[in-house]
A and B are shown apart, each in its own frame.
Chain A
Amino acid sequence: MEDRAPNPILSATGLRKEYGKGAALVRAVDDVGLAVRPGESVAIVGPSGCGKSTLLYLLGGLERPTAGAIELAGQPIHDIAESALARLRRRALGFVFQAFHLVDELTALENVELPALLAGASPRAARARARELLQQVDLEDRAEHLPSALSGGQCQRVAIARALANAPLLVLADEPTGNLDSAATTEVLRLFDQLRATGQTLITVTHDSRVAATADRLITMRDGAFVDETRLTGGTSRSLSQITGLGS
């Protein structure tokens, strides 16, 4: 693949995940190879059941592969001890989920500072970082609100701020707009576009073509394997007017 530039943030080779046995054997992920460069935003799309979420969980160390290797910043993570993996996940990765997974009893600010506290930051430093991140997602005026007092779009923005708490090498997002209406999706898209512009490395699994369209690179999965790859930034010379049929 053209993107196998030196020193990827994340690389996977021959990745496989199987469930079941014998006739009931399912290959959710079937011989996938991927290299993600620093600052790159990659979207993985495909019909439901194509294995894209499983792949994301493998890449994020939330599930173990049946076969294959994964390296994060050059360090193998597919076979390290669970405790080391948990530590690595906390420090080097940020996760964004479809259902937000915020702690209901904690305010927006407390949710955002939690990962820094868990990673051993001082309460003062964690709080300062959380305030800064809430400002970045334009929610500083909601800092003391509980998730129940926030809209879906606001909850997801808090969750994105939380994912950034430990300045992760890589953010992994699983259907980040799956629970959001069109306006809230736009809020999240704006944020993703901003993240991409600031050089945050990002892998997003989505069935929403609007989310996919914010990525630099788009990979299509079918039946557990990559079947197509498209570069969305830089390549095109067609004007918006041509795309819309309004131009000559």
Chain B
Amino acid sequence: MAEPVEIPATEPLHGYQLRVVQEVLLALLAGEASHGYQLRARLALALGPLAGALNDGQVYVTLNRLEKSGLLASTRVGQADRPDRKVYELTPSGRARVATWLNDTSWPKPAPAEFHLKLVAAAAAGLADPVGIVDRQRRELLTGLAQAQRAALAEPNGSVAALLLEGVVLRLQADLRWLEACARYWNQAKER
């Protein structure tokens, strides 16, 4: 995958989430030229209750950066009773970037190795009861699951954001099942 646009480390929008916003904005512009407000509205609709993750300036800041790095071009369009607005369109290198993104198969890493190692280390050092750590983590994930599920149930039928929430719920469920396995293992380890 192409390098994401460089962002200073102090920028509050960083890592995973910013890169996704960049790629999504580029992809949305592949169909037709558009302006920031419209793009933001489309993102908000797709994210539904998760749209809180998008702060107001993020779309505009990102569009600016993408333009500076030559992936977008803009033209100013006059409006009768308001300031001019910028209409963005993809450049050829922006188009290439979208194609790369669509073909990319990278995926969030499925191995919960950090948590696993935390349990192993806690047990080995006699620092803490691994089962207690598992229980605490489980409470955390269950609280998250409860919230995600309420949000999912509140979505109307056919909502595209509900599909995203279903993904959140299913992943948390899978994590919780693994935590059950952790609890089982470390409980038995105590008896050995």
How extensive is the interface on chain A, given as a class?
A: 20 to 34
Q: Give Cα A196 to B128, complex, Å.
A: 37
Q: Give Cα A190 to B143, complex, Å.
A: 17
- CB pair B145–A189 under 8 Å, yes or no, is no
- CB pair A214–B142 under 8 Å, yes or no, is no
CB-defined contacts of A248 to chain B, threshold 8 Å: 12-14, 17, 53, 55
- CB pair B151–A240 under 8 Å, yes or no, is yes
Chain A interface, >50% SS class: mixed
B residues 48-64 in Cβ contact with A at 8 Å: 49-50, 52-53, 55
* A83 part of interface (Cβ distance < 8 Å): no
Beyond known contacts A210-B173, A213-B142, A232-B142: 20 more, CB 8 A cutoff: A47-B180, A189-B149, A193-B150, A193-B153, A209-B177, A212-B142, A220-B135, A220-B138, A228-B138, A230-B138, A230-B142, A239-B52, A240-B49, A240-B50, A240-B151, A246-B17, A246-B53, A247-B53, A248-B12, A248-B14
Q: List 17 A-B contacts (CB under 8 A).
A: A47-B184, A189-B149, A209-B172, A209-B176, A210-B149, A220-B138, A228-B135, A228-B138, A228-B139, A230-B143, A240-B49, A240-B50, A240-B147, A241-B53, A244-B50, A244-B168, A245-B16
- Where the two chains meet, the residues of B that have a C-beta atom closer than 8 Å to any C-beta of A are 12-14, 16-17, 47, 49-50, 52-53, 55, 135, 138-139, 142-151, 153, 168-169, 172-173, 176-177, 180, 183-184, 187
